[in-house]
Amino acid sequence: PETISVAELANRMATRVPDVIKALMKMGVMANMSQILDADTAELVIQEFGHRVRRVSESDVEIGIEGDLDEDLDRLPRAPVVTIMGHVDHGKTSLLDALRSTDVAAGEAGGITQHIGAYQVETPAGSRITFIDTPGHEAFTAMRARGASVTDVVILVVAADDGVMPQTIEAIRHAKAANAPIIVAINKMDKPGANPNRVRQELLQYEIVVEELGGETQDVEVSAIKRTGLDKLEEAILLQAEILDLRANPERAAEGTVVESRLDRGRGPVATVLVQKGTLAQGDIIVAGAEWGRVRAMLDDKNRPIKTAGPSSPVEVLGLSSVPGAGEPFVVVENENRAREISEFRQRRIKEKQAAGITAARGTLDQMLA
């Protein structure tokens, strides 16, 4: 599949077109500036110039330039980003609410919490954990389908009185596909019929072996309603985060993912984004999906205005031209021209894909009529 022209690639890398053509020649590819390269070739060129590549999808390297390799030198520990999954009614929403109530920083903010699709908790010891507050596998699947990987750790909620159910199994599959380690939260321990050992046994069938049974998966007994075991669950998350050695460089232009977005009557397009790298600052120009804008204002998860947001921070961003989809990546770019250019490039690609979809659909219709 074709992705990017030589000229656009040069532009994106802030390199001269002839240098890109020369690099291509070295690889045995003769090209002019308007030639469209496939993703594999583009990837090779990007690496040749000392940049790192991120494949947004199988064929897509359109935001492929991840900064210089020396970025690794400045990486500092960052908070883990956690998603809660599990069978319906096993207590995902209740657990998210319960965990939110453990935030020691919430008191300072006057206890006003906002629903913005993600929130961060500060533990009594001063550690931070970011929770993606869009439980449900659909949000997770939508993000993964767009190539976004936001989750470091998956909390698998299983009700102790109900055990492993179809959506539990589905959640396990999602977590494994995303390569995210699982922590099992055995919920509803306050119920008379609670049988945590049965849950542990049932999970064996899906290759989840908890520590107690000699495996490596942490499990914690909790009650979202009675708010018990929450500190242990947070400890388990922080331990997992330590094992993963999660790091990011705060001193670079921000990059991340749109978690949620909506059109607000008074404020216009509002996007909740998760900053994954770098620091997002008020006044930055961002491209999110095919939309762009200058960050007019930012609010944290407690609805407080903030000027900057570092790695693993969830923030509400005001100032975009339109509403980007959940799961779309965002990047900070150096100026409005660049933002417009990337936005137009992506809009063109969306149209192309739609057109291709229509052609494909017509193809099958033709076949059906034949």
191 sits near ligand GDP (criterion: CB under 6 A): yes
CB of 221 to ligand GDP, least distance (A): 10
CA distance 156 to 269: 33
Q: Which stretch binds ligand GDP (CB under 6 A): 42-50, 82-90, 258-266, 273-281?
A: 82-90
Return the one option of Mg ion, ligand GDP, none that residue 191 interacts with (CB less than 5 to 8 A, by type): ligand GDP
Question: Is residue 26 a known part of a binding site?
Answer: no
Binding mask 168-187 for ligand GDP (x = CB under 6 A): -------------------x
Shortest Å distance, C-beta 185 to ligand GDP: 10
Q: Residue 132: which of 158, 151, 157, 111 has the closest Cα?
A: 151
* 90 or 277: CB nearest ligand GDP: 90
Judged by beta carbon, residue 192 or residue 283, the one nearer ligand GDP is 192
Q: Mask 206-225, x = binds ligand GDP (CB under 6 A)?
A: -----------------xxx
Binding partner of 217, given Mg ion, ligand GDP, none, CB within 5-8 angstroms per partner class: none
- Secondary structure class of 204 (helix, strand, coil): helix
Q: C-alpha angle 213/215/217, rounded to 5°?
A: 110
Q: Judge whether 203 and 169 are in contact, CB under 8 Å.
A: no
Name the CA dihedral angle for 143, 147, 150, 152, rounded to a multiple of 10 degrees.
Answer: 120
**Residue 165 in marked binding region:** no
**CB-side exposure of 332: number of CA atoms within 13 Å?**
22
The minimum distance between CB 125 and ligand GDP, in angstroms, equals 24
Contact window for Mg ion (CB under 5 A) among 89-97, 101-109, 263-271, 334-342: 89-97
Rounded CA separation 262/326 (Å): 10
Structure tokens of 336?
Answer: 């409005």
What is the size of the binding site for Mg ion (CB under 5 A)? 2
Helices (H), 13-70: 17-26, 39-48
Residue 323 marked in a binding site: no
Cβ–Cβ < 8 Å for 329, 256: yes
Q: Is 226 annotated as a binding residue?
A: no
Residue 220 pairs in a beta bridge with 185
- Rounded distance, CA 120 to CA 141, Å? 22
Choose the one of ligand GDP, Mg ion, none that binds residue 89, judging by a C-beta under 5 to 8 angstroms depending on kind: ligand GDP
Binding residues for ligand GDP restricted to 84-143, rule: CB under 6 A: 86, 88-94, 135
Give the largest CA-CA distance in the chain: 73
- Calpha distance 288→339 (Å, rounded): 9
Binding-site positions: 86-93, 133-137, 187-190
Interface residue list for ligand GDP (CB under 6 A): 86, 88-94, 135, 187-188, 190-191, 223-225
